[in-house]
Each structure stands twice: as C-alpha cells, then as structure tokens.
C-alpha cells in the first residue's frame, strides 16, 4: 500500500534577491529533485522561524537553529540551498526574510483553500483545528452524504454540503487540497470523486491502500500504523533489553 515515492523536479523561478549593494545572489536554473523528507523539514524550519520571529530574533545561524530545535546544521543549510542562497556568510539567515521565502516555496504565502470529505468526529475536529488557519490554510467546506448533517456547520462555522456539490464548490472556491476523513470502506470511492473534481493533492486519514492517478499527490496519515509502531517499540523493550 502507498508505494508513493513521488519526486518533484523543481523549476527554480526564484526572484533575484537584493542585497545592500545588490550583488544579486545566484538565480538557479537547474532542475533538482527534492525529496519529501526535505519538504517536511522546510515546514519544520518555518515553524521554528515563526517562533524566533515572534520572540524578536532578527538573524539566526544554521548552527543556532540546529541547537535550539535539535536539528543538524549542515542539513538545514543543504535543504535551504536547494532553493536559493538565502544566508549571509558570517551572519546567518535573516529570520523574517527566510520565513517569507519558505512560505513562498511551500506555496502558502497566498492562502490555500481546503475541503474536508466526511463530517464525522474526525472531519469536524479537523475542520476546527486552529493550526491550519494560522499557517495560511482555509477550510472552506466539508462534504458528507448524511442528510442530517448537510446544511449544518461545524462549531467554528465550516459549512457541510452534500457530496454532490463537490465539483461546483471546488471550481467556485478554487479548492487545492482535500482531506479524507470518511470510513475506510468509502475512502477509495471518495478519493475517486475528489480526483475527478480536479483536486491534485489529498491528505488521507483512512487506513489502507488508496490509489490515485499520476499527477495527484496523496499523503496518508495512518493512525493505526502509528500506534502499532509504538506498540512494537514497547514489545521490544519488554523482554529485558
């Protein structure tokens, strides 16, 4: 299940950065492969920078960042260097500037519209999860098939529509990402509907194998796999290691 392994070839179209005396940092032309491990870390770095920015820190070296958040300094530098020369030798990185760059690279600088499929416990919880809106995601709508749910809203006000309205809303609201929070049995068919509505990125919370066509990115968070992984750890520790 989930063989994934998607790789992205980057088209560097980063804007030329202006230094004081405008020595203009290199604009990359090369296509480079970026692994998902790297993009996940970019997201982590962004969270670190948010924290630093909030506490008034202006510049930070890869070393300092690594120590404070338990990362590896060389890896931070390498990850960032894929996307441009954001640092200043002898100084480090300007927090605000790097933060801005990361938001742009991650594509969240202009807001991303999201829908949630399934207005059950999990769907409703995700709809009102405050962390999303904070980072530039907007949960625009939820979809369900249950009559008694359609027409209502989540506590925070996310409206619940009939699944048949998906296509329309996706087009109207320029939805970019769908979150799958339906029972396992319905998951594949809901994913199919989502894909056919034109959505290209899916965050899946249902367990098991989901297939998507090429060009569609599926990311699965399998809660059972996670718990079982922890259970394995405990089972190993048990007999006197």
Partner DNA sequence: TTTTGTGAACTAGTTCACAGCT
Partner DNA sequence: AGCTGTGAACTAGTTCACAAAA
Map the footprint of DNA across residues 12-71, applying CB under 7 A.
19, 23, 26, 33, 35-38, 61-64
Partner whose binding site includes residue 23, from DNA, its own copies, none (CB under 5 to 8 Å by kind): DNA
- Closer by beta carbon to DNA, 64 or else 106: 64
Partner whose binding site includes residue 13, from its own copies, DNA, none (CB under 5 to 8 Å by kind): its own copies
Among 14, 80, 179, 210, interactor with DNA by CB under 7 A: 80
Partner whose binding site includes residue 105, from DNA, its own copies, none (CB under 5 to 8 Å by kind): its own copies
Partner whose binding site includes residue 159, from its own copies, DNA, none (CB under 5 to 8 Å by kind): none
Q: How far is the CB of 37 from its own copies (least distance, A)?
A: 10
* Interface of this chain with its own copies, residues 49 to 68, rule: CB under 8 A: 51
* Interface of this chain with its own copies, residues 142 to 181, rule: CB under 8 A: 155, 176-177
User: Using the rule CB under 8 A, is 209 a contact of its own copies?
Assistant: yes
SS3 string of the chain?
Answer: CCCCCCCEECCCCCCCCCCCCCCCCCCCCCCCEECHHHHHHHHHHHHHHHHHHHCCCCEECHHHHHHHHCCCHHHHHHHHHCCCCCCECCCEEEHHHHHHHHHHHCCCCCCEEEEEECCCHHHHHHHCCHHHHHCCEEEEEEEECCCCCCCCECCCCCEEEEHHHHHHHHHHHCCCEEEECCCHHHHHHHHHHHHHCCCCEEEECCCCCCCCCCCCEEEECCHHHHHHHHHHHHHHHHCCC
User: Using the rule CB under 8 A, is 241 a contact of its own copies?
Assistant: yes
Among 71, 73, 88, 186, interactor with its own copies by CB under 8 A: 71
Size of the site for its own copies (CB under 8 A): 80
- Closer by beta carbon to its own copies, 71 or else 88: 71
Q: At what angle do helices 36-54 and 95-105 cross, to 10 degrees?
A: 140
């Amino acid at each position: 299940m989930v063989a994934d392994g998607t790789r992205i070839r980057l088209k560097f179209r980063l804007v030329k950065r202006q230094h004081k005396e405008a020595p203009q940092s290199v604009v990359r032309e090369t296509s480079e492969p970026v692994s998902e491990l790297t993009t996940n870390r970019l997201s982590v770095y962004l969270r670190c920078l948010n924290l630093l920015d909030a506490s008034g820190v202006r510049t930070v070296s890869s070393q300092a960042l690594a120590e404070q958040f338990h990362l590896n300094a060389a890896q931070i530098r390498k990850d960032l260097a894929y996307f441009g020369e954001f640092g200043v030798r002898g100084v480090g990185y300007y927090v605000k500037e790097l933060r801005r760059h990361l938001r742009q690279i991650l594509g969240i600088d202009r807001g991303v519209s999201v829908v949630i499929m399934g207005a059950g416990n999990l769907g409703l919880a995700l709809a009102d999860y405050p962390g999303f809106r904070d980072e530039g995601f907007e949960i625009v709508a939820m979809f369900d098939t249950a009559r008694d749910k359609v027409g209502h809203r989540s506590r925070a006000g996310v409206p619940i529509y009939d699944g048949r309205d998906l296509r329309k809303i996706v087009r109207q609201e320029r939805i970019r990402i769908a979150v799958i929070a339906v029972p396992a049995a319905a998951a594949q068919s809901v994913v199919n509907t989502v894909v056919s509505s034109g959505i290209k990125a899916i965050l899946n919370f249902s367990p098991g194998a989901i297939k998507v066509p090429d060009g569609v990115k599926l990311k699965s968070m399998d809660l059972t796999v996670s718990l079982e992984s922890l259970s394995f750890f405990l089972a190993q520790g048990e007999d006197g290691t």
